[in-house]
Amino acid sequence: MTTDIFDNKILCKNCNTTMKPIEITKNGLVLRAIECQKCNSKILHPKDEQEYNHFTNLKKKQFSVKMRFVGNSYAISIPREIVEFMKEQEKIMDYMVKLCFEEFGILKLNFACHKNGNGNNGNSHSNLNDENKLKVK
């Protein structure tokens, strides 16, 4: 059994007061952190910071994927790196995803839909977060 460093009392190095747990959302990822309520210094959880860095590295990459004709539709392959990262984030790939045109030549896939596929009703995609979309050019 492993223990989490954030399970312990952590003192601020600047003002020596006990830091309180908080959650920070960065680019759609929820990161655990602690914050000093006196001087507002923050420390990200090391594991969450590592995951965030992995995400930003994936975000910088541009993938070339194959498009195939399957039945009456086209299919694209999603690189394993992206699928594995999403599985680590507990977003199982059996979800329905939303697909929409962003502009000519650019499609967006939204993986942040609810498991039953009812993440966004109708054809409206104006309220989809950019953090949860995969652009396909």
Q: Are 118 and 14 a contacting pair, CB within 8 Å?
A: no
> Residue 20: which pLDDT band, with cuts at 50, 70 and 90?
very high
> Residue 115: which pLDDT band, with cuts at 50, 70 and 90?
very low
* Residue that is last in its domain, among 28, 44, 60: 60
pLDDT for 7 beyond 70: yes
Vertex 24 angle, CA 79 and 84, to 5°: 15
More confident residue, 91 or 9: 9
Q: What is the DSSP letter of 62?
A: -
What CATH number should be reported for the domain holding residue 43? 2.20.25
What range does the domain containing 113 cover? 67-136
Pairing type for strands 98-103 and 106-110 reads antiparallel
Same domain, 82 and 52: no
* Residue that is last in its domain, among 15, 45, 60: 60
Give the mean pLDDT of 20-31: 90
Confidence (pLDDT) at 131:
44
Same domain, 26 and 71: no
Q: Which of 2-6, 107-111, 124-128 has the lowest mean pLDDT?
A: 124-128
